[in-house]
Structure 1
Amino acid sequence: MLRLTLAVFIALSAGLFAGADARMYIVDDDGFAQYHSIGEAVAIAADGDTIYVKPGTYREQIVLNKSLTLMPPRGEEGAVNLVGDGSDIGIEVLADGCKIEGLTISDFAGPGIYVESRSNEIRKNVLVDNVHGIFLNATSGNILEMNREEGGYCGIVLLSSSENAIRSNVAEGCMGSERTPGAGILLNAAARNSISESEAKGCAQGVHIVSESRENELDGNEIVDCRHGVLIEISSEENLIRGCAIENATTAIALYAAAKNQIQNNAIVNSTNGIALFSSAENSIVQNRLEKVDAGFMISEASSGNVLADNEIEGFNSGIVITDSPANRLERNLLNDGRLGLSVDGSTEESFDNQILESNQIDGRPILYLYGRSDEVVSGRELSHVTLASCDNCTVEGCSVSNDALFVYLSRGCSILDSVVSDCYGMLVRWSDENEIRGNRACDNRYGGIMLVESSKNLIGENTLCRNDRDGLLLRGSSSNKLISNAAEANQGAGIALLSSNETEITENSVVRNGVGISVSRSSGCIVYRNNLIENEIQAEDDGENLWDWGALKGGNYWSDHSCRGNPCQDRPRAIGNATADYYPFAERDGWARGPKPT
C-alpha cells in the first residue's frame, strides 16, 4: 500500500481540524493508519467529519448514523472494495447530509447502499452484484451522481421517495429473475424525482415507474438492449419522459393503466415495439422519432383521450395500431418507408371514434379517416389511407390509395367507385351493408384485392382484381351479396372465395389464372353462373350443394378445361366437388352473349 507522508499522517493521527468543526480520519486494511476497519472510524467520528478509506478490501457492514463523508484519499490508486459475502446491507445511511464517494461495493444480499435519511450525496461509486445497488426509502433531497451499478435486480431504487436528483449514473445487467424482472432504475410510489443523463444497458427494464408514482422527470437518458426501455404502470401519472434515446428494446416505452404522462422528444431506434399504451388515458405523445421498428405506436385495451402529435416513424411494419380505444387525437404525424401505416379496429362502434386528421401523412400523402359522417363525397384525391367508419351514404370516387388500404367499417349505403387501391393491402369491408363497390382496381396488393367480413347486401361489380398475394375477392361470414362482372386474374389464392357466406350470387365474372378460380366453402344457397373460368390451377371447389348453373335457359359457366357443344351444353355436366356440378356449361368464353350454339 502507498503510505502517507509522515507529516500528513501525524496531522491526521493528531485529529487536526479540516474545518472549524470537522476532523479527518484514515482507514487502511493492512497499513500504517489510525484504523483498519471503516466501522472503527465511524464509531469515533462526529457529525461533519471525513473518513478517508485507502485502497483495499473491507469485509464489513457500515451504518452511518452521523453526517459523515466516506471516500478514498485524493490521488490514491486502486479500488476501495467493500465486500458483503452475502451480508444484508453494505452501507446503511440513517443520518442526513452524508457523502459517499468512490467506493466499490459488491456481493451484498440487499442494497449496496441503503438510505433512509435526507440530503445525502452519493457519487462515483461502483456497485457490483448486490441485490440492489442504491436503495432510497422514504427520503428526499438526495443526489445520486456518476455511480455505476452492475448485476442484481435493480441498479437504483426509489421507494416512497421524492425530490431526489439522479444524474449521470450507469446501470448494466440488472435483469433480476424471470418472475421478478429487474430494472436499471425503479421508482415505486415515488414523486417529483429528476432522472437525467443516465444510462441503462442490458436490463429487464431500463426505467420502471410503478404504483402511483407521480410527476417524475426523465430527461436525456440512454437505454440500450433492455426488454422495456421505460415502463410506466399501475396508476402512475403526470410523469415526463423527455429527450431519451432508446435502442434495441422489445418495447421502448410502455404504459399500463397510466394516465396524463408526457412522452416527448424521445429517439427510439431498432426496437420491436416503439410506444405502447394499454388501458392508459389522456397521455401526450409528441415530437418523438422512431426508426427501424416493427410496430411504431400501439394503443389498445380502452386507452382513450390520448394525443399523438408531431411524431415521426421511419422504417416500420406497422406504424400506428389502435384497437378498442376511442377518443384519441392524431395530428401531424409523419410516417415514411413502412408497410401498414394506420390500423384502427375494435369490437364496438365506439372503438372507431377517433379524431385522425389529414395532417397525418404516409410517404407524403394524407391519411383520410372519416367517422360518423353522412352524405360526404371524396373525389379525385391521392391518399395513403382511407377509412370510412360509421358512415352513411358517403362516396369515395376516382381516388387512389398508395400505402395502406381502403377500410369500410359499420357503414351503410356508401359507394366506392372507380378508385385504385393497388400496391398496398387492398380493400376491407367489415360489418357494413348495402354498399356499392364498383369499377375499382385492386392489384398487386400485399394481402388481397377486396375482402368482405360479416357484411351483407353489398354489390361488388366491375372491379379489376389482379396479382394479389392472396385472394382477388374474398367473402367471409357475408351473405346475400352480389358479385357481378369482376375480373379476377393471377391472384395467388382464389380469384373469388366464399367462406361461410350464404345466398351469394356470382355471375359474369372473368376468373383467369388464379391459384383457385372460384372457391365455395361452408356456404349454402349460392348460385354461380355465366362466369369464365380459364386456366386456373384449380378451376373450382365446393364442399356443399350450391348451384353452378341457372338451368337450361340461363346456363352455367365457361370452363377452359371442359369441352362440350352448345351455349349452353345440354348433355355434358362439369363436376365441382363431390356433391354438385355445372349441368349446363358453355362451350365458349362469354357463350351467353354469343347466343345458342348447335349441340
Structure 2
Amino acid sequence: MAADGTGNYATIQAAVDNANSGDTIIVSPGTYYENIIINKIGLKDLELRSASGDPANTIIANSTGSHVISMSYGDNLTIKGFTISGAGTGNAGINMVGSHHCTIENNIFSNNALGVQLTSSSTYNTIRNNIFSKETAAGTAINIARSGSNEISGNTISNHSSGILIGGSDGNKLSSNIVSQSIEDGILLQANSKNNILENNLVSTSGRYGIYCANSVDNKLISNMVSNGTNGINLVFSPGSTISGNDVSFARDHAIFLDNSSNTNVENNSVSSSPYGIALRYSNNSNVVNNYAYNNTRGIYITLWSNNNMLSGNKAYSNNNGIVLVYSANNNIIENNEVNSNNNYGIVLGNVFENKVLNNKISQNDRGISLDDSSVKNRLSGNIVNSNRGYGIRLDNSDYNNITSNIVQSNKNGIYLVNSNNSYLINNTVPDSERAIQLWSSSNDKLINNILSNNRNYGILLDNSSNNELSGNTAFNSTVGISLSSSVDNNVSGNTISWNSNHGIFLCARSLNNLIYNNNFNNAVNTNVRNDKCTWNVANTSGRNIMGGPYLGGNYWAKPDGTGHSQITPDENNDGFADEPFITSNVTDNLPLIDVPDPIAPIADFSANPTKGIVPLTVEFKDLSKYATSISWDVNGDGKSDGNNSTLVYVYDTPGDYSATLTATNENGTSTKSITINAEEFIVYPVADFSANPMSGYTPLSVQFTDLSQNAISRNWDIGIDGTIESTNASFTYVFSVPGSYPVRLTAINENGTSSKDLTITATKKNSGGGGSRGGGGGGGGSPEPARNVDVKELS
C-alpha cells in the first residue's frame, strides 16, 4: 500500500482490517495521517512494517488526541520500521492492551506524550532498538503498567520527563537501553513492581533519579552505567533487591542510596565523584560488599537507624571521608575494607553503638579511625592503621568501647582518647608515632598488654586523666615511656618500660595518688617525678611478680649498663626483694624487685625398645627426662605406678595396644609423655608347598602331586588355574593326554588365612617314524585326559 492511495489498500487501517493471522502488511514510504486500531479477535502473527525498513521514510501522524496505534489483545504482532509521532496528552505512539508476544522494533517515536505503553497484563512482549525523542522534555518514552515478563532492550531515549516507567509490573527485563536528559527519572520502578531486571543500561543527565525504585521489591540492578544526574540509583521502601556491578558517577547528591530498603545486596559497584557514594538510611540487614568508592565527599555513608548491615571488602579511596556511620547506625559490621588516601577521615563513627570495625586496612588518610559524639560499646579489632597524617585511632566523647589487637603504625599520633571513659585498649601494637597512646580528660579506661615502641615523644601519655589502669604494657625506645600530667589515682603495674631516651616514667607536680608497682624499669634515667604523693610499692603479697619472684611489692629498677639498684643490690634472704629500698627524687620503693630466673619445669622423655611385637612381648623402658627430681612409670595404662627407677623392663602377656606413660616431677611442676606399645597375638598362617613328579614328559603324562604345605588343615588343587577344583586330597595323580604347558596351583588353608603356590607341567608329543601321532587325546588340542582309576576331572 502507498500513502497516495495506490496499492492494495488506500490506508493502513484498511489493510489491518482485512488482515488475517500470519499476514504481513508492507507500507510504502510516505506520510500517513491515521489512528490505527488493531483489535480483531483472534488475530495473531501479523507483521506491520515499512517497505524500506528505514523509519525516516514512513511517518504515521494522528490528527486527533488518540493513540497513534492501538493494539488490543494481540498475539505475536510485530510493528517495525516506522516513525510514529503526534500522540497528545495521555496518549501513546503505540498503546498495547492485554497483548502478548508482540514486538515493537526499529521505530522512531517522536514528540509523543507516551512513546510505547503496555497495560492490562500485556506480557512477553519485546520493545527493542527504537528511538524515542521529544523537542520539549515531557512525557514518558516507555510505560509498562500492570504488565509482566516483557523485554525492553537496545532503545535510545532522550529528553523525556521519565525515560522508562514500570508500575505494578513484575518480571520485566530492561537491558542495554540508553536513557538521557530526563527531567525527572531515567528509569522508574514503582507501585510494587517485583523481580524486574535492569541490566547494562546507560542512564545520564537525569533531573531527579537515574534509576529509581519506589515501593518495589526483589529487583536486580546489574551492570548499569549512571552518570551526571541529581541522584544515581535510589531505592525507597524497596527491600530485597540486588544492586551489582553498576558504575555510578557525578551525581549531584547520592550515587547509590537505600532509603527504608532493607535486605539489599549492594556489591561490586563503582561509585565516584558524588557527595555520597553509597548511602543507607533506615535500611537494615543489607550487604555492602566489594564496592569501589572514590572521589566522593563520603565514600560509604550509613545513617539513621540503619542497623545490622555488613560492609565488607570495599575500597574507599580518595574521598573526603571514606566510611561514615552516624546517627544511630548500630550493630553494623565493617570488615576487611581498604580505606586509603581520604582527605579527612578514613572511618568515622558518630553517635552510634555496638558496631564492629574489624580487620580493615586504613592508610594515608588525614585521620584513620574516629569515634565521636557519644559512640558507645563499639569494637575496633584487628585493623591495620598506618601512615595517616593525624592520629591513627581517636575516641572523642565516646565511652565503653573496645580497642583490641590493632596495628597502629607510623601515624602522627597512635591512639588518642578525649573525654572518653570506661574503654579497653588491649593488645594493640603502636610503633613509630609521636605519641603512641594518649588519654586526655578520660577516666576508668584500661590499657592492657599494648606494645609501644620507637615513638618520638611518648609511649603512654595521660593528661588530666584519672582512675585508669595501665597494665602489662611494653613501652620502649621512645623519648618517655609513660608520662602522667595532671593525672591522679591511676594504677600503673606490670609494665615493661625500657630503653627510653629521656626517662622511663614522668609525673608532673599535679599527678598525685598514683599507684606504681610491679613494673620493670630499664632506662638510663628511670624516673622524673615532680611530687612525692604517689605510691611505689604495695605490701609484701604472695603472687608471681614481673621478674619471676614469688611476691608482689615494688618495681624492678635496672639500667642498660647494669648499674641499676635492682641489679647491684643483694637479696640475702632470697625473698625476691633487694635488701635495700630504692630511693631517688620523690620516689621511695620499699620493696624493689630483683630478677628471679624463671623456674625450670621438668621435661618428660623416655625410650621404649621394642614398641611392637608378638606376645609375650618384653619391652625395656629408659628415662630420658630433663630437670626431673622423681619419675613414675605407668606402662600398661591402668593408672597405677609400675615403678620409679630410671630403667624398667615389662612383659606384655596379653595382646593389645597399651599407653605407656612417664610422669616427671620437680618442685616447679610435672610433665608427662606417652607412647603406644603394640602387643600382637602370634598368628600361624599356612605356607603352601607341593611336589610334582614328573614335571615334564611325553603324553600321556602321569604326574603325582603331593602336598608339602605347613600349618594347613585343608587344600585345593586347581589344574589349569581355571577356578575348578580338581582335588582336595593331600596326594593324587593326574594324566595329561594333550601336549602343552599346564599351570597348577595349590591353595593351602587354615583358620587364619590362605597361601598359594604355582608350578607348570609340560607335556610333549613323542614323534613316531611315520609322522603320525599316537596316544589319545584326539590330536593337537583339547584337554589332557585323566588316567584310568584316578579320581580327577578332565581339564577343559
Q: Identify the TM-score tier after normalising by the shorter chain.
A: 0.5 to 0.7
Deviation at 1:108, TM superposition (A): 3.7
Q: What is aligned with 2:109?
A: 105
Q: Which moved more, 1:155-164 or 1:42-51?
A: 42-51
Distance 1:96 1:352 in 2: 54
Q: What is aligned with 1:402?
A: 411
Q: What is aligned with 2:320?
A: 317
1:122 aligns with 2:132: no
Taking the TM superposition and a 5 Å limit, the aligned residue runs for 1:337-352 are 337-347=341-351, 351-352=352-353
List alignment gaps of at least 5 residues for structure 2. 51-56, 469-485, 489-507, 512-529, 531-796
Distance 2:444 2:329 in 1: 27
Does the C-alpha gap of structure 1 residues 237 and 187 become closer, same or farther in structure 2, counting only changes over 3 Å?
same
Q: What is aligned with 1:49?
A: 46
- 1:63 aligned to 46, 70, 78, which one? 70
SS class of match (2:117): strand
Does the C-alpha gap of structure 1 residues 111 and 399 become closer, same or farther in structure 2, counting only changes over 3 Å?
closer
Q: What is aligned with 2:273?
A: 270
1:207 aligns with 2:208: no
1:184 aligns with 2:181: no
2:357–2:381 contact (8 Å) kept in structure 1:
no
Deviation at 1:56, TM superposition (A): 2.2
2:2–2:30 contact (8 Å) kept in structure 1:
no
Does the C-alpha gap of structure 1 residues 305 and 44 become closer, same or farther in structure 2, counting only changes over 3 Å?
closer
Q: TM-score normalized by structure 1?
A: 0.61
1:288–1:311 contact (8 Å) kept in structure 2:
yes
- 2:241 aligned to 239, 243, 267, which one? 239
Deviation at 1:109, TM superposition (A): 4.0
2:2–2:27 contact (8 Å) kept in structure 1:
no
Letter in 2 for 1:339: N
2:132–2:141 contact (8 Å) kept in structure 1:
yes
1:158 aligns with 2:163: no
1:89–1:114 contact (8 Å) kept in structure 2:
no
Q: What is aligned with 1:131?
A: 139
> Cα deviations across residues 94-134 of structure 1 (Å, max 9, x unaligned)?
03222222222243445653433112111122222441111
Does the C-alpha gap of structure 1 residues 394 and 14 become closer, same or farther in structure 2, counting only changes over 3 Å?
closer
Does the C-alpha gap of structure 1 residues 382 and 88 become closer, same or farther in structure 2, counting only changes over 3 Å?
closer
Does the C-alpha gap of structure 1 residues 227 and 398 become closer, same or farther in structure 2, counting only changes over 3 Å?
closer
Deviation >6 Å, runs of 4+: 1-4, 6-10, 12-16, 364-371, 392-398, 413-424, 426-431, 439-444, 506-509
1:171 aligns with 2:173: no
> Cα deviations across residues 510-534 of structure 1 (Å, max 9, x unaligned)?
xxxxxxxxxxxxxxxxxxxx9xxxx
Q: What is aligned with 1:356?
A: 357
Distance 1:340 1:205 in 2: 28
Distance 1:390 1:360 in 2: 24
SS class of match (1:144): strand
Letter in 1 for 2:87: G
Deviation at 1:355, TM superposition (A): 1.2
Report the aligned-residue RMSD.
5.4
Q: What is aligned with 1:412?
A: 422
> Cα deviations across residues 417-457 of structure 1 (Å, max 9, x unaligned)?
99789799x999799435699x999999xxxxx999xx975
Deviation at 1:201, TM superposition (A): 0.5
Distance 1:72 1:381 in 2: 61
Letter in 2 for 1:207: I
Deviation at 1:196, TM superposition (A): 0.8
Distance 1:287 1:397 in 2: 22
1:24 aligns with 2:24: yes
Q: Which moved more, 1:328-337 or 1:355-364?
A: 355-364
Distance 1:25 1:431 in 2: 86
Taking the TM superposition and a 5 Å limit, the aligned residue runs for 1:442-591 are none
1:94 aligns with 2:97: yes
Identity %: 19
Does the C-alpha gap of structure 1 residues 205 and 382 become closer, same or farther in structure 2, counting only changes over 3 Å?
closer
Distance 1:162 1:404 in 2: 55
Distance 2:438 2:88 in 1: 64
1:152–1:174 contact (8 Å) kept in structure 2:
yes
Distance 1:421 1:206 in 2: 47
Does the C-alpha gap of structure 1 residues 239 and 325 become closer, same or farther in structure 2, counting only changes over 3 Å?
same
Distance 2:401 2:13 in 1: 91
Does the C-alpha gap of structure 1 residues 403 and 231 become closer, same or farther in structure 2, counting only changes over 3 Å?
farther
Deviation at 1:386, TM superposition (A): 2.3
- 1:147 aligned to 155, 159, 164, which one? 155
Q: Which moved more, 1:93-102 or 1:294-303?
A: 93-102
Q: What is aligned with 2:35?
A: 39
Does the C-alpha gap of structure 1 residues 413 and 147 become closer, same or farther in structure 2, counting only changes over 3 Å?
closer
Does the C-alpha gap of structure 1 residues 9 and 418 become closer, same or farther in structure 2, counting only changes over 3 Å?
closer
SS class of match (2:38): helix
Does the C-alpha gap of structure 1 residues 258 and 441 become closer, same or farther in structure 2, counting only changes over 3 Å?
farther
SS class of match (2:22): coil
Distance 2:385 2:112 in 1: 66
Letter in 2 for 1:335: V
SS class of match (1:163): coil
Q: What is aligned with 2:500?
A: none
Distance 1:244 1:404 in 2: 38
Does the C-alpha gap of structure 1 residues 428 and 113 become closer, same or farther in structure 2, counting only changes over 3 Å?
farther
Deviation at 1:508, TM superposition (A): 9.3
> Cα deviations across residues 114-166 of structure 1 (Å, max 9, x unaligned)?
43311211112222244111111111111111112222321111111101111
Deviation at 1:257, TM superposition (A): 1.0
Distance 2:124 2:148 in 1: 7
Q: What is aligned with 2:295?
A: 292
SS class of match (1:207): strand
Distance 2:175 2:381 in 1: 56
Q: What is aligned with 1:331?
A: 335
Deviation at 1:279, TM superposition (A): 1.3
Does the C-alpha gap of structure 1 residues 200 and 217 become closer, same or farther in structure 2, counting only changes over 3 Å?
same
Does the C-alpha gap of structure 1 residues 383 and 390 become closer, same or farther in structure 2, counting only changes over 3 Å?
farther
Deviation at 1:358, TM superposition (A): 2.4
Q: What is aligned with 2:232?
A: 229
Does the C-alpha gap of structure 1 residues 373 and 285 become closer, same or farther in structure 2, counting only changes over 3 Å?
closer
Letter in 1 for 2:240: E
SS class of match (1:293): coil
Distance 1:221 1:81 in 2: 28
Taking the TM superposition and a 5 Å limit, the aligned residue runs for 1:366-405 are 372=377, 385-386=392-393, 390-391=399-400, 400=409, 402=411
Letter in 2 for 1:329: I
Residues paired across the two proteins, number: 452
Distance 1:189 1:233 in 2: 11
Distance 1:395 1:138 in 2: 54
1:358–1:366 contact (8 Å) kept in structure 2:
no
Distance 1:188 1:285 in 2: 25
Deviation at 1:216, TM superposition (A): 0.7
List alignment gaps of at least 5 residues for structure 1. 74-78, 177-181, 445-449, 460-479, 483-505, 510-529, 531-599
